[in-house]
Amino acid sequence: MSLSLLPKWRAKTVLEITPAFLKSQNIALLMMDFDNTIVPYTTNTPTQEVMQWLKDLKDAGVQLCVVSNSKKQRVPTFCKENGLDCITHSKKPFPKGIRQCLQKYNIDPKNAAIVGDQIFTDTLGGNGCKVTSILVQPIHNHNLPLKARYVLELPMRFISRNRRITK
């Protein structure tokens, strides 16, 4: 079990994670954090670009599942409206939700990736389950706790700055 706080890959937004990139990494299942990864905390409506990105991945045959720590109804509601599979209360960085997802899809961790905006939940959780971790920039840190956590992440973001998918 890896307790590394460094993501395998970095991206500015999810849009950089193309079907071609996932194919090159033998990734068949992409787990997606919800808040600040797909949409900001302050809305339930993704941008047109994110909607298109989700469609492109689906069309390419990539399995998609939202894996969120959220306990709010807005996550399953969003997933239902957008035809996405969904695991909530996932308790990242603990393995519960990520393992549940791997089992559900019967996929080896080496063929799965997790994208998220937070190192202490998404990146650490993915690394602990040997799932390829992809760190994105938070869409919008709208409050002080989120801003403070981001500051704590800055050393790891600095160390991993050369791991960008798109140089």
- Interface with Mg ion (CB under 5 A): 33, 35-36, 117
Three-state SS sequence of the chain:
CCCCCCCCEEECCHHHCCHHHHHHCCCCEEEECCECCCECCCCCCCCHHHHHHHHHHHHCCCEEEEECCCCCCHHHHHHHHCCCEEECCCCCCCCHHHHHHHHHHCCCHHHEEEEECCHHHHHHHHHHCCCEEEEECCCCCCCHHHHHHHHHHHHHHHHCCCCECCC
**C-beta closer to Mg ion: residue 117 or 153:** 117
Cβ-based nearer residue to Mg ion, 140 or 163: 140
What is the rounded CA–CA span in Å between residue 29 and residue 111? 7
Minimal distance, residue 37 CB to Mg ion, in Å: 5
Rounded least distance, CB 50 to Mg ion, Å: 14
116 vs 132, beta carbon nearer Mg ion: 116
Cβ nearer to Mg ion, comparing 33 with 153: 33
| Shortest Cβ 153–Mg ion spacing (Å) | 12
Q: Which is nearer to Mg ion, 82 or 111 (CB)?
A: 82
Taking the complex as a whole, the smallest distance from the CB of residue 101 to Mg ion amounts, in Å, to 16
How far apart are CB 119 and Mg ion at their closest, in Å? 11
Pair of tokens at residue 48: 């047109």
